Amino acid sequence: MLNRNALFLTTALSVCLALPLSAQDTDTAEVQTEEPAVEMIDVTGDTVVATVNGEDITMAHLVAARASLPEQFQQLPDDVLLPGIVEQLIQQAVLGQAMGELSHRAEIRLENQRREMAANDKVEEVIASAVTDEALQAAYDAEYANAEPTQEFSAAHILVETEDKAKELIEELSGGADFAELAKEHSTGPSGPSGGDLGWFSAGMMVKPFEDAVMEMDAGAISDPVQTQFGWHVIKLNETRMKGAPTLDDVRSELTIKVENDAVEAALKALLDAAKIDRIALEGIDPAKLRDMTLLDQ
């Protein structure tokens, strides 16, 4: 279901898009004349695009309205959205003026929206100053400076239902059968279509019986049947490697998120610690009252 702002825009777009069609229908018999070039305006946020009973609608209002559109409208071309948003804001203006003063319900919602917008602006301010090269390097050092190289394994497996079937496949492999082809033909696991390839993994990523078997194998070896809760595995260890800490560039995105989150948490804690906050005991409030919309009118 469309929200009210989207409904306004849908109506406005319908009007705007219909106008050229009407003109085309009535002018088909007339000779087409070249329209004079339109002089472009040097636009600022204060540029007034419409005035409704003395109330100005500016380009800043349009930009803010576009940014808050639902996703389905965000995809529309700007030359379609521009007149549509202008009409949307005009409709809202005349309706709002007809209403006069805001209702108590609207005032309550507006207070919440103001808090939310102010809080979001503060968060953006904190984040903007938090993410620096120095902060990212410090986060990287804290996370990876003492990281020990870890052993990783590249392996493939064939998963079957019974030990006898696993032994049968091992015999075929001993006779020179291709591991990947047998995996494609017989494996019941999701890696079967890709020849049983499991890619690279490290300790703790596989179930213990599987991991224990892999750690005792040499590169190129085929295991005896290994039982897990998923069935019976025939494992081929392709190779092993020691992997050190990632570079800062490898983890820059996740470290950026961590620095941002840490900065916001620290700023929020400082503000909460400095604030005078009085709370009542929530045990005395029926939680079902959260759904009582009549409270907005009291």
- Digit-coded pLDDT (tens) for 54-102: 999 999 999 989 988 888 888 888 888 999 999 999 999 998 888 888 8
Mean pLDDT of the chain: 88
Residue 25's pLDDT band, with cuts at 50, 70 and 90, is very low
Measured CA to CA, the distance from residue 235 to residue 182 in angstroms comes to 12
Report whether pLDDT(143) > 80.
Answer: yes
Over residues 163-170, the mean pLDDT reads 97
My answer on whether 8 and 51 are in the same domain is yes
Report pLDDT for 32: 57
Report pLDDT for 297: 84
My answer on whether 142 and 256 are in the same domain is yes
Whether 24 maps to a domain, the answer reads no
My answer on whether 8 and 61 are in the same domain is yes
Over residues 103-119, the mean pLDDT reads 90
Measured CA to CA, the distance from residue 212 to residue 230 in angstroms comes to 16
My answer on whether 171 and 86 are in the same domain is no
Measured CA to CA, the distance from residue 262 to residue 127 in angstroms comes to 10
pTM value surpassing 0.75: no
Report whether pLDDT(31) > 60.
Answer: no
Residue 162's pLDDT band, with cuts at 50, 70 and 90, is very high
Give the list of residues 6+ apart from residue 261 with CB closer than 8 angstroms, or none: none
Over residues 170-194, the mean pLDDT reads 96
My answer on whether 233 and 157 are in the same domain is yes
Query: In 55-132, which residue ranges form alpha helices assigned H by DSSP?
Result: 59-67, 71-74, 78-99, 104-130
Range of the domain at 233: 150-243
- Who wins on pLDDT, 122 or 69? 122
Report whether pLDDT(1) > 50.
Answer: no
My answer on whether 251 and 140 are in the same domain is yes
Whether 79 maps to a domain, the answer reads yes
Report pLDDT for 40: 86
Residue 192: which CATH number? 3.10.50.40
My answer on whether 267 and 223 are in the same domain is no
What's the domain count of the chain? 3
